[in-house]
Amino acid sequence: MAFRILVLIKQVPDTRKVEMDQKTGNLRRDLMGAIMNPEDAHALACAIDLKEQFPGVYIGVLSMGPPQSEKVLKSACCHPVDEAFLLTDIAFAGSDTKVTAQTLRAGIKAIENEGSLFDLIICGHQAIDGDTAQTPGQLAYFLERPCALGLDFLEIKENRVFYRFSNNDEIITASIKLPALVSVTKNINTPDFPTVRGVIAMKTKVIRVFDRDKLNIPLDDCGLNSSPTRVIKTFFPEFSRKNILIDGSEVKCAETILKIIKELPIDA
């Protein structure tokens, strides 16, 4: 049986073009472009590298989000991807990391029930629209599979994942047994651009869609209402500090600074 890899990818707002509603404090996603989460592109490249090393490897890509998320799945399908899956339902809106992980688990189980267990699930370490890095670990917990997070190197041999990651000033190497889940950082590789042949092949690939009913998830167990955490408001920080340029000799500068300090309010 072929070695099976599932790559999780997410469509995120292009944070290089952030627009916000000044009244509500919410992101104006309608005015922002959508891209594949950068570290997810590295996860996909990791799977492709493994497919090149071990012929016959199956690669599936899975995304959870609104119907527009098909865009990043199509982008992924320009590479040597075998199948694409989208979990989408209005009921999933507002899911926090815990509920997102639970929904992803339901989707993965539904796909595995049709075929066989995924040997390796690869995620980007974190998404640029949240930066929590919580979902991969939570998903591994709900799937009851070992995980290794924030990797900058991995290889497969003897039914194990051998990996490396950085922890402050330390470089740690270890291994875990398959099946497993890993998350990778941008340091693990450099993604390739799709080929012309890949772009043409993408047009023949079908994205399979799963909604709440297909996944048999109760309405009370998904979306904002079942999420224990939620984002109340997003805003740009306001800086109120004043910069004062002090010029002159060391003595003159010291005298000026002392004068400024004396004039400050007592509670400053």
**Domain ranges for the chain:** 4-226
Percent of the chain whose predicted confidence (pLDDT) is above 70: 90
Predicted pLDDT at 129: 79
Q: What is the mean pLDDT of the chain?
A: 89
| C-alpha 26: how far from chain center | 20
Predicted pLDDT at 132: 85
Q: Distances from the Cα of 254 to the Cαs of 20, 53, 230, 249, 262, in angstroms? A: 43, 66, 49, 9, 12
pLDDT digits (tens, 9 = 90+) for 20-63: 666 655 566 666 678 899 999 999 999 999 999 998 999 999 99
Selected from 3.40.50.620, 1.20.120.1200, 3.40.980.10, 3.40.640.10, the CATH number assigned to the domain covering 4-226 reads 3.40.50.620
Predicted pLDDT at 234: 67
pLDDT digits (tens, 9 = 90+) for 57-92: 999 999 999 899 999 999 999 999 999 999 999 999
Q: 170-177 and 160-167: which strand pairing?
A: antiparallel
> Who has greater pLDDT, 180 or 115?
180
